[in-house]
Structure 1
Amino acid sequence: MTTRATTDIEVLVIGEALVDITATGSEVVEMPGGGPANVALGLGRQGIAVALLTRLGSDARGSAVTRHLERSGVWVLAESFGQGPTSTAHAHILDDGSARYEFSIHWTVSRESLPVRPRTIHAGSVAAFLPPGDEVVLEQIDRLAPEIVTFDPNIRPALVGEPRRARARFEEFARRSTVVKLSDEDAEYLYPGLDEAGLLALVGGLGPRLVALTRGARGAVLAAEGMVVEVTGRRVAVADTIGAGDTFMASLVVDYPALHDTAFTEQKLQDLAIRAVDAAAITVGRPGADLPWSVELHPAS
């Protein structure tokens, strides 16, 4: 664990960190993961001063996750450590590169005051839905009152509860958010049968300034201030899709703050979407949640 001055922190990520146990055929590999932790990893690799509030056990897996994040510049807050085992997700890679998960999640989070005052808080995934920690995530957002809140529900049906409860909790977070990203699978779980236009209007009506919908290989749609832009997916040899949505989200968290106090244009939305899709394409081209570094996203000309 490392310490830093509070003035160093641009983004606080609140959410689960865990170990992905990936089975591909007879091979089993353990790698640090968890949607919010992956977003924090991606931010650190892009040079953003980022802290993570999570829940890790004082065990070998918790230590491995911490080292992994710290090597990419993430400050794992001391309030993240507790008793019991570190959470795990067993990812079974299917023939098309997608992953089917089985979870062992222990989600609690500290109610203590935190040594950070970030401009942006990012939250989402299991941490937004799974008690008892879900309520505390909202409490921390309300206590810290950041200028920008970004949210990715990253729905895991086996963990978030039945759709009606999950939808109500999603909307609680969306009302506090500046930027909301959903995948097409998230949207179908939360609002089955609703078309894209209806979804973007509904979620935007809850209060976010920017709404993003990712569509896997078909790219993404961004909506803001009455404008909607679409970006096609990139052709890439897919290793697996682990971390793709988290990479897209990290890109938005990095790029949005520069636009927060300006009016959107279609070109600005297009640029946001293109950078996020391009970043996600790098991640799906290699195994696991191996999010891109700044040098990969901004190579020297």
Structure 2
Amino acid sequence: MTELLVVGEALVDVVSTPVGRQEHPGGSPMNVAIGLARLGASVALATRLGTDARGRLVSRHLADSGVRLAPGSLDEAIRTSSATATIGADGSASYDFDIAWDVSDLPATGFELVHTGSIGALLAPGADAVAACFEAVDEGVLRSFDPNIRPSVLGSRSEVLPLVERLARASTVVKLSDEDARWLHPELDPLGVTAHYARLGAQIVVVTRGPEGSLLRAGAETAAISSPTVDVADTIGAGDSFMAGLLFGLTTSVGAETVVGRAAAFDDIVQAARFAAACAAITVGRPGADLPRRHEVGVLTTAPAPAPAPAPAPAERGRR
């Protein structure tokens, strides 16, 4: 079985709603690892957890979904990080973080895919170790990156953008939300953002746009991927579910080696993106970051073929 590694934060989401407050395991990279494992992949998560009550909660959640903790992920001397999520009337979530991120000696061999993103990829001092791990993996390994920007934790655009672009240059796959794209590149429209990251070297670039679907670029080809229509409970974990679905599709239906070798057919990449959209739709249809299992996704993967993406303006720029 293909071995996959996810590198980044695992924490506790403290969710505040009009009816009360609950604690759930969370963190974008952790969600991606959970999503991959629930779909049937063999996954390890390299992270930092305490052995306190919250750390035990996260560890149990990972084990229940079949995710292994990479060596060095547990440290009895630290407090498990947390994120307080406030849910708005439209189901959208805003976050406040209590997190410290310091990692070293990350595993870099023995995997066919390495994924990183969000706070774990961009917050000092651990970000340097993550980037070094990411850049050190063998050339034949599929590397994926989702910046999942958290401005309240990471700092200004001028500080974050060089870190994002460093990781993107080493990536096979880059996924951004439309919010990430606007924050990082206010001068570009979504299609222009996909072109920018393709020029940096990414083979596959996706910008997700919530209910409007996503824009996919692979080489010179582009497509607009529709989102299945569902009743939204909240949007927690939607992007992570999309990321997990995309990576699962690429590593199983297409093959990591095929993608890295630039031999993947565009139609096969599109099918992986449609599968990812179905995963995200299931997640937003139920409360919290409850990512789907493989048998749940099939009923939503029979949508019509995606329409071509709109042609870019000459300079692939747009004003908002």
Does TM-score exceed 0.5, indicating one fold? Answer: yes
Q: Cα gap change, 1:139/1:262 in structure 2, threshold over 3 Å: closer, same or farther? A: closer
Distance in 2 of aligned mates of 1:115 and 1:230: 34
Q: In structure 2, which of residues 65, 68, 71 is the aligned counterpart of residue 78 of structure 1?
A: 71
TM-score by length of 1: 0.93
User: Counterpart amino acid of 2:160?
Assistant: A
Aligned to 1:291: 291
Indicate the SS of the match to 2:247.
helix
Percent identical among aligned pairs is: 45
List structure 1 segments (4+ residues) > 6 angstroms apart after TM superposition: none
Aligned length: 292
Distance in 1 of aligned mates of 2:193 and 2:8: 25
Gaps of 5+ in 2: 300-320
Alpha-carbon shift at residue 57 of structure 1 (Å): 1.0
Indicate the SS of the match to 2:187.
coil
Distance in 2 of aligned mates of 1:13 and 1:28: 29
Decide which moves more: 8-17 or 214-223.
Answer: 8-17
Q: In structure 1, which of residues 238, 242, 250 is the aligned counterpart of residue 244 of structure 2?
A: 250
User: Counterpart amino acid of 2:20?
Assistant: E
TM-score by length of 2: 0.87
Task: Assess if the C-alpha contact under 8 Å between 2:83 and 2:97 holds in 1.
Answer: yes
Q: Cα gap change, 1:76/1:192 in structure 2, threshold over 3 Å: closer, same or farther? A: same
User: Counterpart amino acid of 2:284?
Assistant: V
Aligned to 1:269: 269
User: Counterpart amino acid of 2:217?
Assistant: A
Task: Assess if the C-alpha contact under 8 Å between 1:229 and 1:269 holds in 2.
Answer: no
Q: Cα gap change, 1:237/1:14 in structure 2, threshold over 3 Å: closer, same or farther? A: same
User: Counterpart amino acid of 1:69?
Assistant: L
Distance in 2 of aligned mates of 1:9 and 1:274: 22
**CA shift digits 1:51-75 (9 cap, x unpaired):** 0000111201001101101111100
Alpha-carbon shift at residue 268 of structure 1 (Å): 2.3
Distance in 2 of aligned mates of 1:262 and 1:51: 26
**1:109-124 superposed matches below 5 A:** 109=103, 111-112=104-105, 114=107, 117-124=110-117
Aligned to 1:217: 211
Alpha-carbon shift at residue 159 of structure 1 (Å): 1.2
State yes or no: 1:159 paired with 2:161: no
**CA shift digits 1:69-122 (9 cap, x unpaired):** 11111001231112221000000000000001111011111x226395101100
Aligned to 1:141: 134
Aligned to 1:18: 11
User: Counterpart amino acid of 1:274?
Assistant: R
